[in-house]
Amino acid sequence: ETSEVERSIAMRSGAADWVCLSQEEGPEKPEEVVALFHLSRDFALKLLPLQAVKCLEAVVQKQPPYLPHVEAEARANLAVLLLRHTRNAREAKAHLERALRQAEQLPVSLAFVCKVISLLSTCLGKLGSGVQQRQVLAKGLDLVLRDRLEYEGATEEEKVRWYLVFQAHLAGVLVRDGEREVALEMALEARAEVENKATTLAQLQANLTVLQLMLAAGCHDERAADQVSRCEAAIGLCDATEVLESAAYFHLLRSLLELRVGRQDGLRSALSEAARAITGLMERGATARLLPPDFLEILYDLLASQYHRLGGDYAEEKSRIQQAHALIRKQSAMMGSDPRSAEFEPYYQLLTF
């Protein structure tokens, strides 16, 4: 069995993100393909991405070619490695487009096709191809809403989960392009779509997205207050240990709302709840799954600095800002060694600003 250390390395290296077809999806793979796939994953686990890429290139360059389901899986994972470890997003895009065309003609799972679409969206974002990115995400949404290809074994819960993933991607694109009100309207539609269909944790994520987009759109009125109540109710329905990260982020968003409307007592209360949730995460030795390392602590320190400023405690304000900047510098220094740095960098740029 893989040790905890190896699992941690796998998460950082991208080996844990391998896009797999199950044994039921297509004919049995040839022995040499199975061996090359295993070698590639082992190399990725050992942080040897070049060797991992070479193994998969041997599969896709084979003449005569392997069956389409083999090639689709190899190309999808080649793209994962290229996106994680190189700046060659254009080549990753070509592999993903080919994998998607092949997958749409094969009896594969909904999860496989959705993973390829999600990766392609990320790739197009890196290339600055906003129009194509929107088209790909719209295709993904259409797929899970209508289940046009009637994938065998696709549960309602799985479709809802991918619906939320694609909606979140699309909301990010809209905000990036300055269409914050449109993003908010879309998030409200998504919230209504998954109500009573998704798990309680997924419904919480949908509600947090709405609250975040309300704040981004400058909405601080009773709609925001109602959304805060919705998030609190959703948190109350979730397992206390599973919801700590989301709860911490919620209380930080609530702190931001209280700060913007000038309620100092409300700000103090929200920060206190955020600190409790962040401490709970640390005591359990849990790592953030949805947000970058130290993001919650940095945002907490920055909001706490504003609270102390409002109270006239300028020494504590300065101390909190210095703590936040120290964590940002630490994460910035580690950027080059973390394959996920490209995903995390915008977060730290925002916090620095």
pLDDT digits over 266-322, tens only? Answer: 999 999 999 999 998 888 876 666 777 788 999 999 999 999 999 999 999 999 999
Give me the amino acid identity at 175: V
pLDDT of residue 9: 35
The residue whose two tokens read 């936040």 is 324
pLDDT of residue 255: 96
Name which residue leads in pLDDT, 227 or 343.
Answer: 227
Name which residue leads in pLDDT, 164 or 300.
Answer: 300
229-234 contacts, C-beta under 8 A, 24 or more apart: 231/204, 231/207, 234/200, 234/203, 234/204, 234/207
**Is-contact 56 76, C-beta < 8 A?**
no
Full-model pTM: 0.75
**Is-contact 159 144, C-beta < 8 A?**
yes
Distance CA 303, CA 294 (A): 14
Distance CA 315, CA 242 (A): 36
| Distant-in-sequence, close-in-space partners of 162: CB < 8 Å, separation ≥ 6 | 110, 111, 114, 140, 144
Banded model confidence at residue 4, pLDDT cuts 50, 70, 90: very low
Q: If DSSP codes are grouped into helix, strand and coil, which group holds residue 25?
A: coil
Alpha helices in 154-198 (DSSP H): 156-176, 180-194
Burial of 87 (0-12, 13-18, 19+ CB in 10 A): exposed
Mean pLDDT highest for which of 28-37, 166-175, 227-236? 227-236
- Average pLDDT for the chain: 83
| Distant-in-sequence, close-in-space partners of 128: CB < 8 Å, separation ≥ 6 | none
DSSP string, 82-151: HHHH-S-HHHHHHHHHHHHHHHTTS---HHHHHHHHHHHHHHHHHTT-HHHHHHHHHHHHHHHHH-TT--
pLDDT of residue 306: 94
Q: 63-72, 201-210, 222-231, 333-342: which range is least confident on average?
A: 333-342
DSSP string, 203-261: HHHHHHHHHHHHHHTT--SHHHHHHHHHHHHHHHHS-TTTTHHHHHHHHHHHHHHHHHH
Question: Could you give the C-alpha distances from 26 to 19, 29, 106, 118, 305, in angstroms and in order?
Answer: 15, 8, 8, 22, 57
pLDDT tens figures, 85-102: 888 889 999 999 999 998
Residue 3 has pLDDT above 60, yes or no: no
Of residues 197, 184, 98, the one with CA closest to residue 144: 197
pLDDT tens figures, 140-149: 988 887 754 4
